[in-house]
Amino acid sequence: MSETLNITTPDGLVPAYVARPDVAPAPAVVVIQEIFDVNADLPEVCDNLAAQGYLGICPDLFWRIERGFDLSDQSEAEWKRGLALYHRFDVGTAVSDIASTMSAARTIRGASGKVGVIGYCRGRLMAFLAAASRGADAAVSYYGGGSHKEVGGAGKIASPLLMHLAEADEFVSAETQRGMVAALKGHPQIEIHTYPGCCHAFTQNGGKHYDAVAAEKANARTLAFLQVNLG
């Protein structure tokens, strides 16, 4: 079952897609969008989480710029529009919106009180920050770009964090990935997996770089991670 929920923040109401599992109470997982906003792929992620027993919640973090648009990676025009929005996007206010969403996710109808975060593309950095400073019970970061700028604050991460890196990511160089892995190696709360030959967004169902085998492996690891840390 799915619905739209308005999340209260200091700046206004953030619309969020919510997928509910059949059994309650359930842990919640906040799904953080790519540069293409809450497109068809993100509700599907929430629906799949609900099928596994989680409350899947995806807030529209571009709401201050434009509400309710739906882009994909299938055309140059959509890429250009997504990147234009990306450059207008403020990470600080988005992390605040995620914190508000997490707070709501702990207490909405059917919630168990535990909350995790999964971030894709643009959302991967915010998942990292949620693990570092926003009290997520668990966080998952897909693709990793931008997080390399925050590794100096990794000592603040007290929540379990799972990171999926695409070896051939066109937006995160091999050198950057090696530096990030080296900086985070040995951190007791961080688990990192690299996927050989995979490009950015390799788990995006229907995307140009979708890799079914690698996506299945990454998503299985994510589900096992959530089960251990959220129940």
What is the set of active-site residues? 169, 200
Tell how strand 138-142 and strand 161-166 pair up. Answer: parallel
Strands 12-19, 2-9: pairing is antiparallel
3-state helix, strand, coil in the chain (%, to 5): 40, 25, 35
Q: What angle do CA 19, 11, 46 make, to 5 degrees?
A: 15
Q: What is the dihedral of CA 130, 131, 132, 135, to 10 degrees?
A: 80
Answer whether 150's CB lies under 8 Å from 63's CB.
no
